[in-house]
């Protein structure tokens, strides 16, 4: 059973190219979602009541089952504008700040050794790629494109 709490949304303008193109490091892009128009993002807890941890494929499958996952372009656009005063509408809402990591599972990369990574943002504003094998705890959230944005 999914947790019922709803968080505020944030709206992003389009971004077409990757800022952090991992193909330049020899990584393979496995899947990706575009950032189209001015999409509105929301965060969702993919754990069910009583769960506090999910790993790799189970986490990714659950995130996709909920709806359209935001991807790397969404993460890069959001992290670029965090804390920039002239872009207050792009800031992460304060209620999102209680979580350690925001995951963007719409983009999946495979490193040369076969390990899978997804883009993420530390709530402090740092962009990075998170190894799927580490899993997803209840102190993290996935970012999705809001339906009927």
Cα–Cα distance for residue pair 77/83, rounded to 1 Å: 12
Q: Which backbone phi and psi does 81 adopt, to 5 degrees?
A: -105, 0
Q: What residues does 103 pair with on adjacent strands?
A: 120, 142
Inform me whether the pLDDT recorded for 21 exceeds 70: yes
SS3 category, 2: strand
pLDDT at 89: 46
SS3 call for 145: strand
The neighbour count for residue 102, using CB atoms within 10 Å, is 23
Q: Output the pLDDT for position 91.
A: 57
- Per-residue pLDDT, averaged over 24-45, amounts to 87
**Cα torsion angle, 26, 22, 119, 67, sign:** negative
48-91: pLDDT as tens digits = 888 888 888 888 898 999 889 999 988 888 776 654 444 444 55
The pLDDT, as a whole number, for residue 108 is 92
Residue 57: Cβ within 10 Å count = 10
For 37: left if phi > 0, alpha if psi spans -120 to 50, otherwise beta; the answer is: left
Q: What is the pTM of this model?
A: 0.77
Q: pLDDT tens digits, residue range 81-130?
A: 654 444 444 556 666 656 667 889 999 999 999 988 888 887 655 667 77
């Amino acid at each position: 059973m999914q947790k019922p709490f709803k968080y505020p949304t944030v709206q992003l303008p389009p971004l077409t190219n990757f800022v952090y193109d991992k193909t330049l490091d020899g990584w393979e892009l496995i899947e990706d979602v575009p950032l189209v128009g001015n999409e509105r993002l929301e965060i969702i807890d993919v754990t069910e009541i009583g769960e506090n941890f999910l790993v790799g494929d189970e986490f990714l499958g659950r995130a996709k089952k909920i709806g359209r996952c935001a991807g790397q372009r969404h993460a890069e656009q959001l992290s670029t504008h965090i804390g920039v005063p002239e872009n207050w509408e792009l800031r992460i809402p304060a209620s999102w700040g209680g979580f350690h990591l925001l995951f963007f599972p719409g983009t999946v990369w495979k490193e040369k050794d076969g390990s899978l990574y997804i883009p993420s943002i530390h709530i402090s504003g740092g962009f990075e790629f998170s190894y799927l094998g580490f899993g997803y705890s209840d102190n993290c959230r996935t970012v999705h494109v809001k339906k009927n944005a």
